[in-house]
Structure 1
Amino acid sequence: TSPDKELNCGCCGYNSCREKAIAVLQGKADIRMCIPYMRELAESMSNAVVENSPTGILILNASLNIDQFNPSAKKLLHLDETSAGQPIRRFLPSPDFEQVLTSGKNILNHKQNYKNLNLIVKQTVVLVENSHFLFVLLEDITREEQIRENQRRTAEETVAFANEAVSRQMRAVQEIANLLGETTSETEVALRQLTKNIISKKGEDNDRSN
């Protein structure tokens, strides 16, 4: 390793980093016993996670300007090299950032619809402990929300179609009932008139017989 990384902290039990390195080569020590090494490894792994995360990640400073962002945030918000140092409100007009900064209370999974970006996200804003930096997570749920909205519209259209179909059927039944009612009434009148005529005719015949 380079001399600038030789901390010689003694945490591993050896007097110097070189003694520890020799012991590792001789198979007498485990490289993972080195605290600075493990810290560097953890930071490297953390950076890899951040860089490859599908979640947009930003760090904002106390002025609510963009300090850092990962590739996913760059893609979601259409950022570029000049975006660092810009106010977050230019990209995400949300009161969450100011609220967390002033209150110290984190906001988790707050659904936000950024119409200026055609973007719907679950937004998490966390105040970094003992600092004035904000850690922002943006989970893109635009597609899921669009699918849910399409399903809602389809359901509403289906219900409306069903209601219209039922209404048409009810009107048809009513019209048929009205027609049947008129026919029955007319038949009843005709039968009564016929009966009356028959009775009248019979009476006339009886008078002639007498």
Structure 2
Amino acid sequence: MHAEQTPEVSSILQHSPNGLLLVDGEACIRFVNPAFRGMFRTGDGDLRGHKASEFLQSDCVELAIQVGGEPSLRGNVPEHDIHYRAAIFRIEGANQYCGIFIDTSEEERARAELLEVKRETLARAEEVIRRQMHTAQEIAGLLGETTAETKVLLAKLTDLFRQEGTP
């Protein structure tokens, strides 16, 4: 099926928020939609004939072709800070494969930020516990000193009362 076949299909392909890629059995690009171009920053040039791996920085399409399709995979393009989830499947009756790419970059950034908040919170909690333990040790030391002083004072008072003959 080609994007030019019907206006309806063409409109769907052009306006899909997901990146769409059509390749032949050699992983050479036959079609990409605007969302794919934007996601992988391909520019406006003709991509037909180029290997998909040039833009994905991964051989995931070639590997999916070898196994007859890949229902779910994840990848990233570090130089553009792009993370994606994709499904690559064989087009029945043709030596072509379609890839549907979902941009998960924002989700990955949010996950990384949450992980950093967790790390910072754990570090703060450990610091608070360390300070509380130090304070508790200082208090215990002071209580020990005053308890010892109280014991000595009470012993002296007891001895004094005994000397005076107070039972």
Q: Please state which band the TM-score falls in when normalised by the shorter chain.
A: 0.7 to 0.9
Q: Identify the residue that residue 142 of structure 1 maps to in structure 2.
A: 105
Aligned equivalents of 2:164 and 2:103: distance in 1? 94
Larger relative strand fraction: 2
Matches within 5 A, 1:106-185: 106-185=69-148
Q: TM-score w.r.t. structure 2 length?
A: 0.82
* Seq. identity, %: 28
Q: Is the 8 A contact 1:58 1:136 kept in 2?
A: yes
Q: Which runs of 4+ in 1 moved over 3 A?
A: 193-199
SS for the counterpart of 1:83 is: coil
Give the structure with the larger helix fraction.
1
Structure 2 residue matching 1:136: 3-state secondary structure? strand
Structure 2 unaligned blocks of 5 or more? none
Q: Which consecutive residues of structure 1, in runs of 5 or more, have no partner in the other structure?
A: 1-41, 204-210
- Tell me which of the two structures has the higher relative contact order, counting C-alpha pairs closer than 8 angstroms and 6 or more residues apart: 2
Query: What residue in structure 2 maps to residue 71 of structure 1?
Result: 34
Aligned 8 A contact 2:73 2:85 in 1: yes
Larger radius of gyration: 1
The residue that corresponds to 1:83 in the other structure is 47
- Among 63, 72, 81, the alignment partner of 1:99 is 63
SS, match of residue 121 in structure 2? helix
Match in the other structure for 1:52:
15
Separation in 2, partners of 1:131, 1:49: 21
Distance 1:63 1:107 in 2: 16
Q: Aligned with 2:6: secondary structure?
A: helix
What is the RMSD of the two structures over their aligned residues, measured on CA atoms? 2.2
User: How many angstroms apart in 2 are the aligned matches of 1:138 and 1:99?
Assistant: 16
Instruction: Output one character per residue of 1:148-182: Cα deviation in whole Å (capped at 9) or x when no partner.
Output: 22122213322332232233123212210111111
Q: Does the 8 Å CA contact 1:112/1:122 hold for their aligned counterparts?
A: yes
